Amino acid sequence: MTDSISKSFYLSLIVLFIISCGGGGSGSAAGSSSSYEESGSSSSSSSSSSSSSAASCTSSATNFCITVAARSVGTGNIYKIDTVAQKSLTLTAGTTYTFDVSDSTVSNHPFKFSTTANGTRATPTAGTEYTTGVSGTTTITFTPTASTPQTLYYYCSSHSNMGGTITISGGAVSGYSPPEQINPID
């Protein structure tokens, strides 16, 4: 009987650890962790070939190449991150990331972060720009911390519905506080 309680206790601890560390399914295309998988099969890279800056940007686990392209369905433009339209990102608290927005297609589309989907362009209530740990203009650096909200959004401050979602692994979870101490079950 003690072995079964012991196993249940340890299994509960493992599940709690996985959830508190940002695991358990974030809904991102890459799975969850901070690792970055480049999606080699993008729908179109023609916008990159028309720009001289895109060729000089090199994608990596911490460097993202930002471009703007026309929507494939409907009207308007969208951000592409490493040639993937409105890519969902998973970033890790404590790691510095670079968003290269030097491509000429981005010049009229200021790349910003917010805790509100669509940022300052959100309706009916506009959000605010998230600037903590963010710096730069042509190359934007962002270092999320343990107090960074777990969900952020990237958006264009001039046009609606261009951006996507960022999940911060190890970021602050709204409405959840980890227990100070876990006591064994008697």
Percent pLDDT > 90 in the chain is 54
Using CB atoms within 10 Å of the CB of residue 30, give its burial: 0 to 12 exposed, 13 to 18 middle, 19+ buried.
Answer: middle
- Please give the pLDDT value at position 21: 47
Question: Cα dist. 96→34, 59, 143, 169 in Å?
Answer: 11, 14, 4, 13
Determine the average pLDDT of the residues in 164-170: 94
- Tell me the average pLDDT of the chain: 77
Q: How confident is the model at residue 186 (pLDDT cuts 50, 70, 90)?
A: confident
For every residue of 89-151, which 3-state class applies, written as one string? EEEECCCCEEEECCCHHHCCCCEEEECCCCHHHCCCCCCCECCCCEECCCEEEECCCCCCECE
- DSSP classification of residue 60: -
- Mind listing the domains of the chain with CATH numbers? 27-169 (2.60.40.420)
Do strands 89-92 and 84-85 pair parallel, antiparallel, or not at all (unpaired)?
unpaired
Cα(152)–Cα(116) distance, integer angstroms: 7
- pLDDT computed for residue 67 by the predictor: 97
Question: Distance between CA atoms of 54 and 4, rounded to whole angstroms?
Answer: 57
Confidence band (pLDDT; 50, 70, 90) for 56? confident
68-99 tens-digit pLDDT = 999 988 899 999 999 999 999 999 999 999 99
**pTM, 2 dp:** 0.65
